[in-house]
């Protein structure tokens, strides 16, 4: 089990903020729930970026769906001058990022790049930016208990 301390989380978010600096993005599209915390940290360094949440769920309980359930603010439409940074806490299998990068939701944006704190070796998706890539274990973030339930 890989337990992320709050100090390590903040330090790694700062490192991620440095890595994405060259992209000059206009929007942060963050994947609920874990991506919210990364976006919250990144916005400290990029206060002009607009944040947009999206929830993508491939599971109904423990049963995997054929197509994911998407909850997204339909009022937000990315335009040709938007540069979108898609943010999540980690890429485990890569299914969510693969789906989102190929989806119609982002096809009108000028450009789209992806950023995560942790890219697991099991991921089929290679994010544009990440901090750690050597974590194989179950990850417990500061806002979760060991079962993955949010505690705040």
Complete domains list, the chain, with CATH: 2-58+67-140 (3.40.50.2020)
Position 72 scores a pLDDT of 83
What pLDDT is attached to residue 62?
Answer: 66
State percent of the chain over pLDDT 90.
Answer: 67
User: Between 23 and 95, whose confidence is greater?
Assistant: 23
Query: What pLDDT is recorded for position 44?
Result: 97
pLDDT per position as a tens digit, 73-120:
767 889 999 999 999 999 988 989 998 888 888 889 999 999 999 999
Amino acid 109: pLDDT: 94
In order of 15, 32, 85, the CA distances from 46 in angstroms are 13, 19, 12
DSSP state of 78: -
State the DSSP code for 93. S
139-152 tens-digit pLDDT? 999 988 888 777 87
pTM for the whole thing?
0.92
Distances (CA, A) of 15 to 33, 79, 116: 21, 29, 11
CA distance 61 to 65: 10
pLDDT in tens, 125-139: 999 999 999 999 989
């Amino acid at each position: 089990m890989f337990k992320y301390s709050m100090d390590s989380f903040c330090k790694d978010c700062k490192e991620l903020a440095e890595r994405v600096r060259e992209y000059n993005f206009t929007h942060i599209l963050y994947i609920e729930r874990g991506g919210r915390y990364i976006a919250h940290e990144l916005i400290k360094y990029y206060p002009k970026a607009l944040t947009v949440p999206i929830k993508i769920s491939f599971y109904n309980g423990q049963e995997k769906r054929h197509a994911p359930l998407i909850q997204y603010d339909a009022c937000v439409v990315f335009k040709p001058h938007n540069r979108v940074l898609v943010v999540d806490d980690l890429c485990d299998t890569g299914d969510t990022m693969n789906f989102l990068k190929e989806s119609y939701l982002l096809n009108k944006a000028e450009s789209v790049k992806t950023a995560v704190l942790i890219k697991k070796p099991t991921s089929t998706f290679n994010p544009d930016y990440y901090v750690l890539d050597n974590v194989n274990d179950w990850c417990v973030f500061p806002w979760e208990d060991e079962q993955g339930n949010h505690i705040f």
